Structure 1
Amino acid sequence: MSSARRKDFQSLKAELLQNNSLFIDEDFPPDNRSLTFSGQQPSGLRKVVWRRPKDIARNPKFIVRNATRFDLDQGYLGNCWFIAGASLLATKKKLLQRCVPHDQEFDHNYAGIFRFNFWWYGKWTEVVVDDYLPTDGYRLIYASNREEPDEFWAALFEKAYAKLRGCYEGLDGGKLQDSLVDMTGGISEDIDIKDKSQIPPNVFDVMWKTNDLNSFLGCSIALPQNASRSEVELANGLYMGHAYSITALAVVPYQGRSVQLCRLRNPWGRGEWKGEWSDNSPQMRSLSPEMKKQLGVVIRDEGEFWMPAQDLLSNFEEIQFIHLTPDALTSELANNERKQQWTVTVYHDAWIRGLTAGGCGNAPYQDLYWKNPQFSITLTDPDENDNRGQCTIIVSLMEKEKNNKSEIAIGFDIYKLKNPQNRPLDVESAPRNALILKKRGGIYQYNREVTKRFELPPGSYVVIPSSFKPHEEAEFMLRMFTEKAVTSSVLDETSGPSSLKEPMKFSMEACRSLITVMDRNRSGALTYDEAMKGWGEVKAYKTVFDQFDFDKSGNVDTYELSKMFGSLGFPVSRMVQTAIVRRYGGRNNKINVLDFIIIICKLTLMFEIFQDQKQKSNTTDGASFTMNETLPQPETLTKMLTADGLTDGRTDGRTDGQTDGQTDGQTDIVNL
């Protein structure tokens, strides 16, 4: 592990100053490994020379005067979504300073080390980088400030984000709302305006009200499917495959009527709209100098321009919102303009092939749907000012992308329970206990985040997030915003045996392979009682296995593990099932009878160890352990399930209920 990981920013900087040395980041080195995932030089670049700002400019500054939206110009990298997002962030001083601490410079106490902060999937994370930047030998290749070439905060901020996402290539292509969520911890929402006949008539009003609540706005035009370039210019000056930030809204009088205008910024710092209300249009020339000053009109190609809201709706295909509070959600505005505190419940979980990657429920995989992670939430009290007795809940599902790509379509469903239950819904219990309330939280989308607002009567509900297709693996974060405090939990099986069903005959060959785990007194051999007890258990396990071996192939689907363990009176948590699937599932997600018997025997022994520890904890020299500490994390379980025997040492497989800010009931499961 490098020193950058072991030490915090202040410790690193103090050490560098004491040794009169400059920082070189071993975790994000100044070479091709930080440029691309492959470690090769990016195609299209002849050479990349890494230089510190003092080797690029005569008098480098972190920030010249004040940081503004004009400080960021896009370079060679296709990261208009990041540049547009950072430009919007720069319009709100306090938010920018949280991400970009301004107490950094190249003069006093300079050590070649800089720090930035990002909200990374639910947690504010400090990212430390050195100040080596990619150049062509003279100028910056990526983000820069063309007007103030001695200013470097934008280039270093971009480098920190590239480090967070793996490399600079990790910023090549993305969505504006994703970058702003990572800079603010806000909630993303979008309005699809591809179908011009379905555009809501009050879109500009919603944009206006949302902007008043300090939300960020942006817009984009999709690239044609067969396009050979990453951006395609239209005759009106706009670019397809490009993201623009919306930096202001206005209503101005013109020829006896009011015109709704939007101000956009091209992250390139050049390339502007050529239609009505553009810089040199008759409409703009007709305005008085006072009105132009009020609008902040600059008659030059600096990338920022005004255009009619109607033209924005006609030319763009999506409007993005990034809300700093749930009050600003467009659906919230449509009903009420209240502003208040919200309770946030956060879960981190995963879709795992062979265990929890159940898909959306389409045939022929409808039964697998119930294998998806499930989360209960109980709404008890209606909202304060709701005379209909409803409870507001906003659900936000965010995929934890790999290599900055959303390769799966995600969505979620909400079910209302007739009677609360502590275990997951399945094929049998769902029709009996669940009443589907909303079939979808919208359509399945390839967006990183899907958000939907609901108004529900008090009661017990289950939220089931899923990918569209089954067997697709990904980690995700689920956030649920409510006006009142709620009771919420992960619906899972609780590990531990009860009683076994009547056994049936089974082969002796399997028993020979289980001698080690049947040796309960650790003597190295089986006593008669141990052998008889073990043989009875093995026959019971075989009986259960046969019940789920529908095609009599000697293998069962790992998605059936939860039911199999449950029928044995030994429900097993998803954490434990994860280790089993990883070790035994194979490519086809199948498990054979011998492996199943070995697994259940080892888990039974682990549970007995837990019971022994529990009894010892009541003595003066005993220690206290939780069930999760005895049934450890998947990586440790995998080793134990692979080994011939078991150790009675413990590992930490705890479920963390840590809260963050207003978070209520945050649960962090094992990082898979």
Structure 2
Amino acid sequence: MAARHREDGFGSLDNPERIFDQDYQQLKQDFVAHRRGFIDLKFRPDRDSIGEGVLSLTDLDRVQWLRPGEIAPNPSLIVDGISRFDFGQGRIGNCWFHAAVGSLAFQNNILKQVIPPGQIFNEEYCGLFHFRFWRFGIWVDVVIDDILPTIDGRLIFVHSTTQNEFWPALLEKAYAKVCGSYADMIAGTPAEALMDFTGGVYIYVDLKDPPPNLWKLIWRACQSKSLMGCVTPQGETSENKVAANGLVKGHAYTVTGVKQVMSQKKVESLIRLWNPWGEGEWKGDWSDRSPLWNTVRPQDREECLKVADNGEFWMTIADFCKHFTHLDICCQSPSFMDGSQALDWKASVYEGRWVAGATAGGNKRHDSFWINPQFRIKIGKVLGERAETHNDGNMLVSLMQKPDKRNRRQVKNLYIGFYVFEVPEEFMRKKGQFPASFFSHHSPVAHTKIFRVAREVMEFFKVKPGEYLIVPSTFKPYETASFILTIHAKREILSPAV
């Protein structure tokens, strides 16, 4: 299968694709000129936009769709800047999205990508706003009206701590439109929204088998202005959702900082987390009321405990690994992982598709593995002497499933993974699909540790200069799905072959 390399241009951040072909500037010009309030006919203020399973039938009958001016006096999109403490999660299980929003609130440059500036309630206000997300390889511009679902005059879903600030509710509505409905935002991991906010590089860290340099990795990620989220394991029952230690079971949190303090003649490496509920905190060591804070310098104690009972707390890296399943990091470049320069890294993006009976061969245990899409790349010269001598990884491969359905809840992710084979000298002149015999006699030099049911899987590893064959696959054969394969290399990617 020939690989198609994605090109810049339409679908870029500067020229995003318009969802439903809705042009924000044209719509604004028309509605301002006619002094009418915009109503989005592509995402109507009705039950279909809320979706099923979010509210009871009784509550659905009580819903009123109101504009900001009908909810609070002097409405504003943003009041005194944007902060993770501006909002709290509402009556929908989308903590994964709000954990990502909490991380987004730290990075003004990324915020401006997602929330284009200049949107204010002024004389040209017509109830029209727009937001931008990176969706499966392209940037999209999402137009919405500002008619929000309420009960008894209060927002049902995300709510602001400042009554007349509406960026959280409007951002959530725009993302609900992209997903299909508010109900389509139920359940997920922070990685999904983190990628949709940045279009960057996704790093998955398994906290049950963490790297030995985990704290340093997180510290570097903070320094590089990465976005980070994490998740607690599901409870054994649906009861007692909040554990005795204060953590919510099966819940997403935002990583908001790291710090080392000297306590009782020992260095403690701490990580700061935030609960998107805006309340509910860890009660163990180094929690807000822990006596351990009396063992550190007053300056450290004051800096770390500026505000109490805001959903934000500290814990040790050891407790973090014990009580959370994995860490999601999203960044502009993998450079923070080894302290290299972002310019050292090059990226290539390809699209492909598994088709049952044609190009869906399953994993390497199946005889049909060889029919999977194959992508051949050549890793050339080292970009700088540092990369030549560094012992860390120099290639990151990411595989993302691309859904065929609009509504997020209807998307069934498959178990996916990939293998990387070095092309030996005798196959250098080979053109087209590599045969089954090649895979019978050659082992991969790298591969995903496990096949996962996830929107995206990735691995970070080290390879030497040469040619490589990357084979993405589903775990089982005869499964149909589209995908995006992204390769980041610290050594220059010269040319695709197959």
Q: Name the TM-score class by shorter chain.
A: 0.7 to 0.9
Bigger relative contact order, structure 1 or 2 (CA pairs below 8 A, ≥6 apart): 2
Q: Distance in 2 between matches of 1:388 and 1:152?
A: 51
Residue 447 in 1 paired to residue 457 in 2? no
Q: Distance in 2 between matches of 1:4 and 1:23?
A: 16
Q: Call closer, same or farther: CA 1:320–1:430 in 2, change over 3 Å.
A: closer
Structure 2 unmatched ranges of 5 or more: 1-17
**Contact 2:260–2:268, Cα closer than 8 Å, also in 1:** yes
**Contact 1:32–1:41, Cα closer than 8 Å, also in 2:** no
- The Cα of 1:458 is off from its aligned counterpart by 2.5
**Contact 1:382–1:389, Cα closer than 8 Å, also in 2:** no
**Contact 1:244–1:266, Cα closer than 8 Å, also in 2:** yes
2:314 to 306, 321, 326: 306
Q: Which amino acid aligns with 1:219?
A: C
- The Cα of 1:424 is off from its aligned counterpart by 1.0
Structure 2 matches for 1:473-552, cutoff 5 A? Answer: 473-489=480-496, 491=498
1:217 to 223, 228, 232: 228
Residue 417 in 1 paired to residue 411 in 2? no
1:90 to 95, 105, 115: 105
* Aligned twin of 2:335: 327
Q: SS at the partner of 1:354?
A: coil
Cα deviation digits, residues 76-101 of structure 1 (max 9, x gap): 11111110101111111111111112
Q: SS at the partner of 1:340?
A: helix
- The Cα of 1:210 is off from its aligned counterpart by 2.4
* Aligned twin of 1:228: 238
Q: Distance in 1 between matches of 2:154 and 2:296?
A: 39
Q: Distance in 2 between matches of 1:348 and 1:413?
A: 16
Q: Distance in 2 between matches of 1:287 and 1:392?
A: 39
* Aligned twin of 1:206: 217
* Aligned twin of 1:563: none
Q: SS at the partner of 1:16?
A: helix
Q: Distance in 2 between matches of 1:235 and 1:15?
A: 56
- The Cα of 1:339 is off from its aligned counterpart by 4.2
**Contact 1:399–1:406, Cα closer than 8 Å, also in 2:** no
Percent of aligned positions that are identical: 36
Q: Distance in 2 between matches of 1:248 and 1:389?
A: 27
Q: Which has the higher helix share?
A: 1
* Aligned twin of 1:100: 115
Q: Call closer, same or farther: CA 1:150–1:288 in 2, change over 3 Å.
A: farther
Q: Distance in 2 between matches of 1:469 and 1:153?
A: 43
* Aligned twin of 1:124: 139
Q: Distance in 2 between matches of 1:308 and 1:104?
A: 41
Q: Which has the higher strand share?
A: 2
Q: Distance in 2 between matches of 1:68 and 1:337?
A: 30
- The Cα of 1:387 is off from its aligned counterpart by 3.9
Q: Which amino acid aligns with 1:410?
A: I
Structure 2 matches for 1:361-440, cutoff 5 A? Answer: 361-362=364-365, 366-385=366-385, 386-387=387-388, 392-401=394-403, 402=405, 403=408, 405=411, 407-418=413-424, 419-420=427-428, 421-428=430-437, 430-431=439-440, 435-438=442-445, 440=447
Cα deviation digits, residues 149-207 of structure 1 (max 9, x gap): 2110011001111111111122111111111111011222222223xxx4444321221
Q: Which amino acid aligns with 1:400?
A: K
Q: Call closer, same or farther: CA 1:237–1:109 in 2, change over 3 Å.
A: same
Q: Call closer, same or farther: CA 1:454–1:293 in 2, change over 3 Å.
A: same
Q: Distance in 2 between matches of 1:74 and 1:462?
A: 45
Q: Which amino acid aligns with 2:216?
A: D
Q: Distance in 2 between matches of 1:42 and 1:76?
A: 8
Cα deviation digits, residues 448-504 of structure 1 (max 9, x gap): 21111232233222111011111222211110112344344473xxxxxxxxxxxxx
* 369-378 or 80-89: bigger deviation: 369-378
Residue 349 in 1 paired to residue 352 in 2? yes
Q: SS at the partner of 1:361?
A: coil
* Aligned twin of 2:478: 471
Residue 66 in 1 paired to residue 81 in 2? yes
Q: Distance in 2 between matches of 1:388 and 1:63?
A: 48
Residue 294 in 1 paired to residue 303 in 2? yes
Residue 359 in 1 paired to residue 362 in 2? yes
Q: Cα RMSD over matched residues?
A: 2.4
Q: Call closer, same or farther: CA 1:137–1:368 in 2, change over 3 Å.
A: farther
Q: Call closer, same or farther: CA 1:25–1:367 in 2, change over 3 Å.
A: same
- The Cα of 1:309 is off from its aligned counterpart by 2.3
**Contact 2:195–2:201, Cα closer than 8 Å, also in 1:** yes
Cα deviation digits, residues 107-158 of structure 1 (max 9, x gap): 331011101011111212111111111111311111121x202110011001
Q: Call closer, same or farther: CA 1:96–1:416 in 2, change over 3 Å.
A: same
Q: Distance in 2 between matches of 1:44 and 1:204?
A: 47
- The Cα of 1:314 is off from its aligned counterpart by 2.0
Q: Distance in 1 between matches of 2:174 and 2:446?
A: 40
Q: Call closer, same or farther: CA 1:254–1:458 in 2, change over 3 Å.
A: closer
What TM-score, normalized by structure 2, do the two folds share? 0.88
Residue 190 in 1 paired to residue 209 in 2? no
**Contact 2:353–2:373, Cα closer than 8 Å, also in 1:** yes
Q: Call closer, same or farther: CA 1:81–1:45 in 2, change over 3 Å.
A: farther
Q: Distance in 1 between matches of 2:390 and 2:327?
A: 32
Q: Which amino acid aligns with 2:367?
A: D
- The Cα of 1:17 is off from its aligned counterpart by 0.4
Q: Which amino acid aligns with 2:314?
A: W
Residue 262 in 1 paired to residue 264 in 2? no
- The Cα of 1:49 is off from its aligned counterpart by 2.0
* Aligned twin of 2:166: 152
Structure 1 unmatched ranges of 5 or more: 492-672
Cα deviation digits, residues 418-466 of structure 1 (max 9, x gap): 32323112224555xx733335222111222111123223322211101
Cα deviation digits, residues 19-56 of structure 1 (max 9, x gap): 111111111111122122x6x87447612322111111
Q: SS at the partner of 2:347?
A: strand
Q: Distance in 2 between matches of 1:455 and 1:199?
A: 18
* Aligned twin of 1:171: 185
**Contact 1:279–1:297, Cα closer than 8 Å, also in 2:** no
Q: Distance in 2 between matches of 1:378 and 1:369?
A: 22
Q: Call closer, same or farther: CA 1:285–1:140 in 2, change over 3 Å.
A: farther
Cα deviation digits, residues 270-325 of structure 1 (max 9, x gap): 101112222222223566664344225212x2211122222222222222222221
Q: Distance in 1 between matches of 2:164 and 2:147?
A: 15
* 284-293 or 114-123: bigger deviation: 284-293
* Aligned twin of 2:33: 18
Q: Distance in 1 between matches of 2:57 and 2:252?
A: 22
Find the structure with the greater CA-based Rg.
Answer: 1
Q: Call closer, same or farther: CA 1:383–1:94 in 2, change over 3 Å.
A: closer
Q: SS at the partner of 2:111?
A: helix
**Contact 1:244–1:264, Cα closer than 8 Å, also in 2:** yes
